[in-house]
């Protein structure tokens, strides 16, 4: 029996320094993730407050297989409602964003308030005194299912579980501080885009948590001195090691001798025509006054907050079965950005996005891995860069400790 059809994955005795290939393609594993992770004691990113500034404005979020309506209330609060009529299960909202005064089901016209309370049902009392809902039916018992909501610096998170710890405890103080650092001013949404990836969602999360590849796969980073492992930087682990931050400072790089090594793809300067014709693509400024030019922050299981030079964005990776996923981006700046900064952020976002030099390569490599492991699902990946544990190495990013941290959380929740 192969790992793909087996009811249970057998994890290698080496622990999180070995990742069984079967976890990326087993339908059984995908089904268990839905209850153990996406419906489990986890905080999930739902959207930005800047996307829904006014009463009745909403955006749709995706938590595993569940569509969620994130909607602004009249009192300024925010509710996260499962996008499913409590009658027959029909979705209530179809557009990715919009504005409404109530949610009306197209199937039987059951109507719900912005806070999920049921208001009415068509022919609730029947017609001419005949028919209608049973006397046992109570509207107050048939509102929309809600998530618990937490808001921080303009970011909105939600959880289905009453057992999920408080957000600050779940994430950890260092990661909370970075959210406040990157999102500490009033945010302005610059645009949204998405890309379909030919790989399991966990392969993308591994990639984001892996600084080892950043200046190798992304040769542009090394050639243009955007992000190199020879820069001052490090890895900060969140609560329990499940989440992380990787950071670097461009101005500290002394790595020319290392990155001119012809065995590295990033040593092939000719691959980029000896430079960019439009050098404004790489013009940057210090947004936060600390010299840190790159931070990649993850929050378990599938959220990313990025500061890539001045390209600021949030990302979520949404599972689409076992062999596909969707990467959703929302790029943002600040309300007080002048025209130069606004245009600079847009240029950098295009350079980093799926038609640029970062997201395109990350999407491609996950597909190659998915293809490469298909014939040997009883084998396992070797994750030993930086040791065996999840503890960061002070002042170094040459480690897969944060990848092992993800799998530590994953195994704990999945019982593997």
Among 21, 356, 407, CA closest to 200? 21
Residue 281 binned pLDDT confidence (cut-offs 50, 70, 90)? confident
Residue 139 binned pLDDT confidence (cut-offs 50, 70, 90)? very high
What's residue 221's pLDDT? 63
pLDDT digits (tens, 9 = 90+) for 77-97: 999 999 999 999 999 999 999
Where is pLDDT greater, at 307 or 277? 307
Tokens in use for 184? 């500490």
Q: What is the DSSP letter of 207?
A: H
Handedness of CA 50, 184, 156, 206 (dihedral sign): positive
Rounded to whole angstroms, the maximal C-alpha distance in the chain is 87
Compute the distance between CA of residue 386 and CA of residue 392 in angstroms, rounded to an integer: 8
Residue 299 confidence (pLDDT) above 70: yes
Q: Write down the pTM of the prediction.
A: 0.91
What's residue 6's pLDDT? 42
Residue 161 confidence (pLDDT) above 90: yes
pLDDT, mean of residues 307-321: 96
pLDDT digits (tens, 9 = 90+) for 360-402: 889 999 999 999 999 999 999 999 999 999 999 888 888 999 9
Residue 117 confidence (pLDDT) above 90: yes
Residue 358 confidence (pLDDT) above 50: yes
pLDDT digits (tens, 9 = 90+) for 29-62: 999 999 999 999 999 999 999 999 999 999 999 9
Residue 357 confidence (pLDDT) above 90: no
Contact 191, 349 (CB under 8 A): yes
Residue 265 confidence (pLDDT) above 70: no
* DSSP element (H, E) containing 98: strand 97-99
b/e sequence 350-367, b meaning 16+ C-beta within 10 Å: bbbbbebbbbebbbebbe
What's residue 282's pLDDT? 73
């Amino acid at each position: 029996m192969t790992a793909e059809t087996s009811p249970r994955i057998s994890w290698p005795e080496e622990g999180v320094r070995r990742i069984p290939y079967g976890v990326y393609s087993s339908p059984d594993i995908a089904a268990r993730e839905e209850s153990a992770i996406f419906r489990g004691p986890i905080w999930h990113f739902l959207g930005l407050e800047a996307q829904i500034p006014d009463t009745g404005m909403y955006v749709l979020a995706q938590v595993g297989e569940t569509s969620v309506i994130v909607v602004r209330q009249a009192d300024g609060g925010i509710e996260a409602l499962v996008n499913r009529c409590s009658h027959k299960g029909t979705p209530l909202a179809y557009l990715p964003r919009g504005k409404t005064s109530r949610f009306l089901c197209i199937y039987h016209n059951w109507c719900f308030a912005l806070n999920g309370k049921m208001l009415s049902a068509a022919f609730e009392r029947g017609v001419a005194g005949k028919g209608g809902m049973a006397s046992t039916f109570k509207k107050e018992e048939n509102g929309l299912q809600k998530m618990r909501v937490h808001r921080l610096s303009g970011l909105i998170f939600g959880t289905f579980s009453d057992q999920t710890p408080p957000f600050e405890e779940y994430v950890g103080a260092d990661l909370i501080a970075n959210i406040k650092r990157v999102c500490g001013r009033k945010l302005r949404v610059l645009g949204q885009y998405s890309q379909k990836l030919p790989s399991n969602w966990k392969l993308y999360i591994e990639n984001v948590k892996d600084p080892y590849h950043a200046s190798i796969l992304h040769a542009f980073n090394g050639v243009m001195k955007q992000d190199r492992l020879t820069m001052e930087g490090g890895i900060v682990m969140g609560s329990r090691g499940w989440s992380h931050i990787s950071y670097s400072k461009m101005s500290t790089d002394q790595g020319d001798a290392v990155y001119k090594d012809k065995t590295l793809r990033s040593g092939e300067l000719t691959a980029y025509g000896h430079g960019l014709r439009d050098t404004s693509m790489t013009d940057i400024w210090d947004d936060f006054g600390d010299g840190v030019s790159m931070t990649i922050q993850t929050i378990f299981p599938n959220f990313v907050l990025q500061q890539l030079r001045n390209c600021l964005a949030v990302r979520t990776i949404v599972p689409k079965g076992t062999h596909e996923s969707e990467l959703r981006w929302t790029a943002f700046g600040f309300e007080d950005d002048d025209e130069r900064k606004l245009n600079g952020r847009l240029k950098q976002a295009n350079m980093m996005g799926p038609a640029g030099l970062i997201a395109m390569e990350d999407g491609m490599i996950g597909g190659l891995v998915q293809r490469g492991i298909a014939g040997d699902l009883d084998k396992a990946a070797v994750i030993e860069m930086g040791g065996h544990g999840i503890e960061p190495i002070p002042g170094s990013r040459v480690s897969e400790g944060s990848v092992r941290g993800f799998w530590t959380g994953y195994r704990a929740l999945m019982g593997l």
